[in-house]
Chains A and B, each alone.
Chain A
Amino acid sequence: MSLICLTNIARRYVMGAETIHALRDVSVSIERGEYVAIMGPSGSGKSTLMNLLGCLDTPTEGTYELNGENVSDMDDNQLADIRNREIGFVFQTFNLLPRANALRNVELPLIYSGMRLDERRERAREALQQVGLGDRVTHKPNELSGGQRQRVAIARALVTRPSIILADEPTGNLDSRTGEEIMQLFARLSEAGNTILLVTHEESIAAHARRVVRLLDGRVAADEAKGGDRSPEA
């Protein structure tokens, strides 16, 4: 059974008198351990797909099974639980809490899962070490460089040991050298067995993934595996 199984997903928004078809009939499965880039020009529906995959939104039609659970018609609080357990988000703008130090930022998701203080401190420290920031735990975001901030955000995504790491344009706010470093970090995390979904519009960034799903006008236009080690519709 696939980790992610999207079947005939449609997502429509009603804006005034107009109905926008953001996604039409999308079916995609992703296995545990895959490194997938989701690409497409703006308006292609990739943000909508990312929101659905991240359980921030629910589809108008179709089913989404994540790790064996049907999340397509869960309510707000159930979705919050799923996000907390299964998904680690990495955002383009980092989204760190400005008043909290690196450690507090990283342990935030563990607070929502109700973990005890000493345990979550330990886990947060571990996660920061994993991204190479073991010596920056007490620094606040404004005392860190852009690359370091994104590393803190990645540590925050890793700390709950989620099923998926969902990165939305993770290098969009970084210069190309720092961006490259972050992509190397993702490559390492992928090799360590993490499932990574990368949403981007840059070919050079998508090139790091082993599979690319291309969207156009709300449909899957192409789904290509690289290196031939995995077929698109496994």
Chain B
Amino acid sequence: MNFLLELGEGLRIALEAIRANKLRSILTTLGIIIGVVTVTLMGTAIDGLNRAFMQSIAKLGVDTLYISRTGWFVETYEDWTRLRTRPQITLRDVMQLEKEVHTVLAVAPIVRSMAGVKYRERSSQNVSIVGSTDQMVLTGGLGIETGGRFFTAEESDGGRPVCVIGSDVATNLFPRLNPVGKQVKINLRPYEVVGVLESQGMFMGAFSLDNQVIIPVRQFLTHFWHDPDFEIQVKVGDVARLEEAKDELRGAMRKVRRLEPGDADDFAINQQEQIAERLRVVSATIAAVGLFITGLSLFVGGIGIMNIMFVSVTERTREIGLRKALGAKRRTILVQFLIEAAAICVVGGLLALAIAWPVTLVLKHFMPAQLSLPLVGIALLVSALTGLISGFLPAWRAARMNPVDALRNE
């Protein structure tokens, strides 16, 4: 007998049987549904995290290094209190470092604060105010909208009252006007807008890079914060030279910070790879927990399927006997019941996707989550496999039935 015909007939019988026992079939798939929802959401979350990270990395550039007083990830409170005693990084440190290193593309000091920004009667609250130099356009990989520019070295060194505004700030304050050449007030002090940053979107889905205003660092020191702890952004310019550049920066920083040969570093050189590592740990944790829940619910679900298939086989003993009398082989009966078990599970898988999909839409607000096609495929495949595995024993029992006894069954 033609195997495709057998599959087609099996599917038809399976769907008829499921339709005849709708409620029973759906209740049976509850475990499968939970399992598949978990595996789908887990996949979506991991995928979303990675995607968010890749997008953020693409914005900042992988060849950017960040020097600060402490590392990005401080593990313990003890470490934290110890690291707090390190001397702050000052603007003088940054300037000296800039003179010491020669092989990197650009070095820029970064300090941040928050303030309100106003243009006439329109205002934007909680804007991130960044103090830096003209070099930041290179280190931050910033793009400027046409018609504007970043502030120049002269404006930067002279501490001129100019600013470059993020795209969110621009749309908030200047819904219809071109912001370039206009005067905004930051903390009531006037600054001339010389350029608008191209939109950069969210960083890790957490905060907007577009809600910021960049001003010359000397302006920042005079009017916002006299004695801040600087972060130094370094653009290496070549990913292949990243390690080399780190060594050079470390040597130069030790010299700038006047460390003796035996002293430990009192600064840290960070790079995005560290975030990537964190992310891998988080992803692995989500995966481990998710797989555990998935495995458990699929196991329980599988047992439910096995149980209901045994019931189905017993109920249809006469039908099995009849089919065998009419010429169905063992394989035909086996395939028929395997398909039925798989079909019940796939129905469960589809229900699960119908639940997971709106949840993904909610997740979308936090990360670029997406119910990807391969994930849908995996979910359905996992459901079908669960059905095939747990349906095997009942199907085997059906296939091995003796037609005489089966037909006699009442």
Query: Which A residues are within 8 Å of any B CB, using their own CB?
Result: 51, 54, 56-57, 76-77, 80-81, 83-85, 89, 91, 95, 97, 99-100, 108-109, 111-114, 156, 160
Contact = CB atoms under 8 A, between A and B. Distances in A.
A95 B322 contact: yes
A108 B5 CA distance: 12
Contacts of A57: 404
Contacts of A81: 327, 329
Interface residues of B, number: 22
The 7 closest A-B pairs by CB, nearest first: A84-B327, A112-B327, A114-B1, A114-B2, A109-B326, A80-B329, A95-B322
Interface in B1-16: 1-2, 5, 9, 16
B330 A76 contact: yes
B325 A112 contact: no
Contacts of A160: 327
B404 A95 contact: no
A100 to B, nearest CB: 8
17 contacts: A57-B404, A76-B329, A77-B329, A83-B324, A83-B325, A89-B325, A91-B407, A95-B407, A100-B16, A111-B9, A112-B1, A112-B326, A112-B327, A112-B332, A114-B1, A156-B326, A160-B327
Contacts of A77: 329-331
Given A54-B325, A80-B328, A112-B1, 19 more contacts: A57-B404, A77-B329, A77-B330, A80-B324, A80-B327, A81-B327, A81-B329, A83-B325, A83-B326, A83-B327, A84-B326, A89-B325, A89-B326, A95-B407, A99-B16, A100-B16, A109-B326, A112-B329, A114-B1
Given A97-B319, A114-B5, A109 B327 contact: yes
Contacts of A113: 1, 327
B170 to A, nearest CB: 66
A85 to B, nearest CB: 8
Interface of B: 1-2, 5, 9, 16, 20, 318-319, 322-332, 403-404, 407
Contacts of B324: 56, 80, 83
A152 to B, nearest CB: 13
Contacts of A89: 325-326
Nearest to A83: B327
A173 B1 CA distance: 34
A85 B326 CA distance: 9
Central interface residue in A51, A56, A99, by most chain B CB within 10 Å: A56
A91 to B, nearest CB: 7
Contacts of A111: 1, 5, 9
A156 B322 CA distance: 12
Contacts of A109: 326-327
Contacts of A95: 318, 322, 407
A97 B328 CA distance: 14
Contacts of A97: 319, 322
A40 to B, nearest CB: 18
Given A56-B404, A112-B1, A112-B332, A99 B327 contact: no
Contact of B20 (A51, A99, A112, A114): A99
A111 B403 CA distance: 18
B328 to A, nearest CB: 5
A116 to B, nearest CB: 8
A123 B7 CA distance: 22
Given A51-B404, A95-B318, A95-B322, A112 B328 contact: yes
A108 B16 contact: no
